[in-house]
Amino acid sequence: MENSSAFVASMVISVVIVLGIFAPQAEGRAFFVFGDSLVDNGNNNYLATTARADAYPYGIDFPTHRATGRFSNGLNIPDIISLSIGEVPTLPYLSPELNGPALLVGANFASAGVGVLNDTGIQFVRSVTFQILTPTPYH
């Protein structure tokens, strides 16, 4: 009985090792970002809003040394995460460049001034809104 258990265990381990060596590795991953100005990478550039980061000094430490719509002087956290997993930084979902292969990398849905409530960020004229649906009670 003990020998059969050891044999089954060794066979399972062998199959796992063989599959790990010869099976094709799936590379299906995408990175999607939701949030506010801390992770916004330029969605507000495409909106009529006063919450914008498209002028100096924003972007002075970015690789292009230009303002990109990020509310930072360089890369933000999603950019760093994208680069650390071996991908290019995600594009803003409002960008016309976000199509086809670029969409397979992921998308950034963050917008400065966004919040859980629709009244959040009202002073910025417009920001991306996310509607939260509350379940209705059953009657």
Which is nearest to 40 in space by CA: 53, 26, 24? 53
- Inside any domain, residue 129: no
- Domain housing 66: 28-120
pTM of the complete model beyond 0.75: no
Instruction: Please report the pLDDT score of residue 133 as a whole number.
Output: 47
- Inside any domain, residue 11: no
Tens-digit pLDDT profile for residues 37-78: 889 999 888 888 888 888 888 889 989 999 999 998 999 999
- Inside any domain, residue 21: no
User: For the chain, what is the domain count?
Assistant: 1
Helix, strand, coil tally for the chain in percent (to 5): 30, 5, 65
- 115-121 average pLDDT score: 62
Which is nearest to 33 in space by CA: 78, 72, 69? 78
